[in-house]
Structure 1
Amino acid sequence: MIEKKKFHTIEELQRLQYFATKCSCDVGLHSLDGSIIVDAKSYIGIYALNFKEPILVVSESSEFFDMIEGIGETLE
């Protein structure tokens, strides 16, 4: 599954990373152009992305997407 999301605060990113660490599946964060791909479980890795732009959240876990439903803004 892939969701396009926009995050507005550091707290939202911290909550996303927390839930990613609780997920047994891989969770990736991708720039829209695909030039940057990071592991959402890596606290330092998530800061490689430009969060002024929307990002793609990628995981096979529907439960993970349920956990992050209220975090950030889901786009298209």
Structure 2
Amino acid sequence: MVIEKKFNSISEISALQRIASMADKEVYLSNQEETIKVDARSFIGLFALDFSQPLKVITDSLYVIRMIEMDLRKQSCAAAVR
């Protein structure tokens, strides 16, 4: 599954890395064009990506998918309150 996500802080990137480290399946991050694809567990690999643009989270891990969807819901609720 592919989920598009905009990362707004280093703590969000760090959280994804922790989630990916606990995942039962591989988790990748790629740019929109999918010309760069890195393992989300690799801290150094993450520096290859441009976080000013939305990225694609690519995984078959239901755990990771659920965690990202929960985060996206929190962000949309926080935006609605503002």
Which TM-score band applies after superposition, normalised by the shorter structure? 0.7 to 0.9
Is the radius of gyration larger for structure 1 or structure 2? 2
The number of residue pairs the alignment matches comes to 74
Aligned to 1:50, the other structure's residue is in SS state coil
TM-score, normalisation: structure 2:
0.82
Query: Which of the two has greater strand per residue?
Result: 1
TM-score, normalisation: structure 1:
0.88
Q: Which structure is higher in RCO with an 8 Å CA cutoff and minimum separation 6?
A: 1
What's the CA shift string for 1:48-76, capped at 9, x where partnerless? 100000110000012211123316969xx
Distance (whole Å) between structure 2 residues aligned to residue 22 and residue 60 of structure 1: 13
What's the CA shift string for 1:24-50, capped at 9, x where partnerless? 200000110111000001011112100
Distance (whole Å) between structure 2 residues aligned to residue 24 and residue 3 of structure 1: 17
Query: Which of the two has greater helix per residue?
Result: 2
Unpaired segments of 5 or more residues in structure 1? none
Identity %: 36
* 1:9 and 2:9 correspond: yes
